[in-house]
Amino acid sequence: MTEEFLNSFMTGPDERGRFGDFGGRFVSETLMPLILELEKQYEHAKTDDSFWAEMNDLWTHYVGRPSPLYHADRLTAHLGGAKIYMKRDELNHTGAHKINNVLGQIILARRMGKTRIIAETGAGQHGVATATVCAKFGLKCVVYMGAHDVERQAPNVFRMKLLGAEVVSVTSGRGTLKDAMNDALRDWVTNVRDTFYCIGTVAGPHPYPAMVRDFQTIIGKEAREQMQAREGRLPDTIIAAIGGGSNAMGLFYPFLDDKSVNIIGVEAGGKGVNDKMEHCASLTGGRPGVLHGNRTYLLQDDDGQILEGYSISAGLDYPGIGPEHSWLHEIGRAKYVSVTDKEALAAFQLCCETEGIIPALEPSHALAHVIKIAPELPEDHIICMNMCGRGDKDIFTVARHLGFEMGGH
Ligand SMILES: *Cc1c(COP(=O)(O)O)cnc(C)c1O
């Protein structure tokens, strides 16, 4: 594929699951038949109207879609430049975009006759969304979570338990998200017959990055239509925060072929993108390697050891990034930047005060970049940012950073 001759950015991945040099399926022989079967089943479901009819029904009546496209007028006036819109995916059931994808995978699992769902989770948001949909369908749910995260994310662990899920505390490796994902992959190989592995972002071996993107694309499709209805045209800039990259891919994908639309992904810059790796900016501070079955940009040391990274936002600290983002970065269709914890915290506060919306710390990173660029842009420049999660889960972290004493914490 030579990029100059590419007439669409929406054709990937190829039959080997590659987006340019990224993606693919770097898996053991034992895992290969499982992902080939999944690919076959997904390819079939994807073209089946009854599959999408079931999705649409649940998106409407269970999740609460479509989510609004909101003109943030006070924030716009405060910054004095570009016109800012927010795609309100924080209003979904469970408070974030994760459920868009979980519903798709679990409907697929049911069609495949699977009765046991496994998932990995870092901050716990994907685990909660998976436990929620499993409870809704009466499916057994096992969530792998790094021991370190189990400790840090007690409220989400309890939520998952209330929803009937079993939470497995992973102590292998360093007991974080990366290790939880490895253990989930091992479980899958051992329990193939009844088990479906529900991955929470656009990572993993093919077909996961494409499948998760397809389910999240509802965000961008709605935003595109809503913007046409409100403004009679497309936005000039779209912006989203990136952990693994699923909410961003969901917003970006339907706009990839609209050359007039600037696309910006915002990574977690932590304490600053430096050699000490106190950040989670895989694209701006990492280099290509293989992790969890795909080739992509990763945080790694000189010997290729995967590094943990750091961010104030637990939902952004995945050491990799979806392979499609690596490709969009290399061909220059999307631009990737990073913002620091400090900038994200300031954006969090400004959003609370000007719009009456308490954002999650993840989209606060996207908003921090909006705050940087909006004042320099003309009033007729339209920005659409993805408000992909609400901030209730983050108030204790924010209180700590602002030096506010909260009883019991
Ligand atoms: C999980 C999560 C993220 C990061 O995941 P992506 O796959 O990059 O979207 C971002 N925001 C929120 C609110 C999340 O829950």
Note if the bond before 68 is cis, omega within 30 degrees: no
CA distance 115 to 106: 10
CA distance 261 to 383: 10
What is the residue-level pLDDT of the chain in tens, covering all 409 positions?
A: 455 567 899 999 999 999 999 999 999 999 999 999 999 999 999 999 999 999 999 999 999 999 999 999 999 999 999 999 999 999 999 999 999 999 999 999 999 999 999 999 999 999 999 999 999 999 999 999 999 889 888 999 999 999 999 999 999 988 889 999 999 999 999 998 999 999 999 999 999 999 999 999 999 999 999 999 999 999 999 999 999 999 999 999 999 999 999 999 999 999 988 767 788 899 989 999 999 999 999 999 888 888 888 888 888 878 899 999 999 999 999 999 999 999 999 999 999 999 999 999 999 999 999 999 999 999 999 999 999 999 999 999 999 999 998 865 4
In this structure, the strands spanning 262-268 and 18-19 are: unpaired
Task: Give pTM, 2 decimals.
Answer: 0.96
- Residue 241 CA, ligand 1 centroid: distance in Å: 7
Pocket test for ligand 1, best of 90, 143, 247 (most atoms within 8 A of CB): 247
Q: At 166, which helix (H) or strand (E)?
A: strand 166-170
Residue in the structure block whose two tokens are 């979904």: 92
Residue 179 in tokens: 């290790």
In single-letter form, the type of residue at position 198 comes to: C
Nearest-CA residue for ligand 1 atom 5 is 243
Q: Please report the pLDDT score of residue 273 as a whole number.
A: 84
Mind listing the domains of the chain with CATH numbers?
18-60+98-212 (3.40.50.1100), 65-95+217-401 (3.40.50.1100)
- How many whole angstroms separate alpha carbon 75 and alpha carbon 330? 33
Query: In this structure, are residues 266 and 224 in contact, taking their beta carbons and an 8 Å threshold?
Result: no
Instruction: Tell me how far the alpha carbon of residue 1 lies from the centroid of ligand 1, in angstroms.
Output: 30
Q: Residue 122 CA: which ligand 1 atom is closest? A: 1
Query: Using CA positions, which residue lies closest to atom 4 of ligand 1?
Result: 243
Both tokens assigned to 279: 């950040």
Backbone angles phi, psi at 341, to 5 degrees: -50, -45
**Residue among 146, 224, 207, 149 nearest 179 (CA):** 146
Mutate to test the pocket of ligand 1, among 177, 199, 201 (most ligand atoms within 8 A of CB): 201
Q: Which residues pair with 170 in a beta bridge?
A: 146
* φ, ψ dihedrals at 259, nearest 5°: -55, -25
Question: Counting atoms of ligand 1 from 1, which one is nearest the CA of 250?
Answer: 9
> What pLDDT score was predicted for residue 5?
64
Q: How many A from CA of 234 to the centre of ligand 1?
A: 24
Q: Determine the pLDDT at residue 1.
A: 47
pLDDT at 409: 47
Bridge partners of residue 168, in order along the sequence = 144
How would DSSP label each residue in 120-163?
EESSSHHHHHHHHHHHHHT-EEEEEEEHHHHHHTHHHHHHHHHT
Distance CA 312, CA 93 (A): 24
